[in-house]
Amino acid sequence: MVKKHLLISLLFVGAVFQGIQAQQDAQYTQYMFNTLSVNPAYAGSRGQLSFAGLYRSQWVGLDGAPETFTLNLHSPIRNSRLGYGISIVNDNIGDGVVQETYLDAVVSYTLELARDAKLSFGLKAGGNMLSIDFNGLRQRQIEVTNQNNIDNQFSPNFGLGLYYHTDRFYAGVSAPNILETEYFDNDNSDDSVNFLSAERINFYLITGYVFDLGADLKFKPALLTKAVGGAPLQVDMSANFLFADKFSFGAAYRWDAAVSALAGFQVTDQIMIGLAYDRETTELGGTQFNDGSFEIFLRLELLKSFQRTVSPRFF
């Protein structure tokens, strides 16, 4: 039990103070179905009003481990080149000890380079609210310096993205949060500034291609790379199969971090559900208190297509 409390304490300290050098955005295993969260240029690219929700539970079995909720809604504007959307992301660590919520509005502009080739430019504007309950950390037997709680501290931000896609290929680059915000407390007797967290720009590259392996079988390898100053390069590689435009299944690997299994079901042309399970390849993955991480994903296409699209889309 002492070992478990020590492990949880170390994870909490790492999660709360990970931003001393750089803070990374939330990570997703099903990033290929949650593109709007990392690239604003994706807005409207599905050709119809689309809603997506994702829940991620990190390190199942550890008390107070991180949870992430994501909701987004986007659509093209009929008879125009514009798309719009909203994105909400909530990170919860320690059953409310650390709460961070991102709320963003998104707009995109699309150029038709060819009949089946489109290039979109995206802009995101919004901000995030951060709350840290240091009393809650102390109750969990985590020693912290004498800090005042942070209650819904708002920080504005904006992001940029490019997204190119055809019926089979897609590629995008983006920086979802451009402004670098530092959270600090200078209420100290020596008037020194004590930095708690510093957000840094996260740069994303996302790409994938769909191959036909037969009349009813498609294969899509995909890649997501995330770079941020002060942190290791993150590389996510995945390989998914789609059978009869209904069932998807595959595997993924996060470099030096985790292996994953993915599965999805296209219930109708308008409804898709997806599941993912991660198992860490680090020392944390070998502990008896960590049962891995899982995600559940839901996508709803709420209106008929405004333009010619392939339905159901594999990305």
**Residue-range domains of the chain with CATH:** 24-179+262-301 (2.40.160)
Q: What percent of the chain has pLDDT over 90?
A: 48
Report the candidate in 284, 297, 273, 234 with the shortest Cα–Cα distance to residue 59. 284
Q: Is the pLDDT of residue 195 over 70?
A: no
H runs (alpha helix) in the chain: 2-16, 134-139
- The lowest-confidence range among 6-10, 132-136, 239-243, 261-265 is 6-10
Do residues 173 and 203 lie in contact, with contact meaning Cβ atoms separated by under 8 Å?
A: yes
12 or 291: which leads in pLDDT: 291
Tens of pLDDT, residues 269-307: 899 999 999 988 876 655 556 678 999 999 999 866 555
> Cα 31–32–38 angle (5° rounding)?
50
Q: Is the pLDDT of residue 108 over 90?
A: yes
- The residue-averaged pLDDT of 40-54 equals 94
| Dihedral sign for Cα atoms in the order 278, 296, 77, 114 | positive
Quick one: DSSP state of residue 66? -
Tens of pLDDT, residues 131-177: 888 776 656 555 555 567 778 888 899 999 999 999 999 999 999 98
**Which two tokens mark 143?**
């020693």
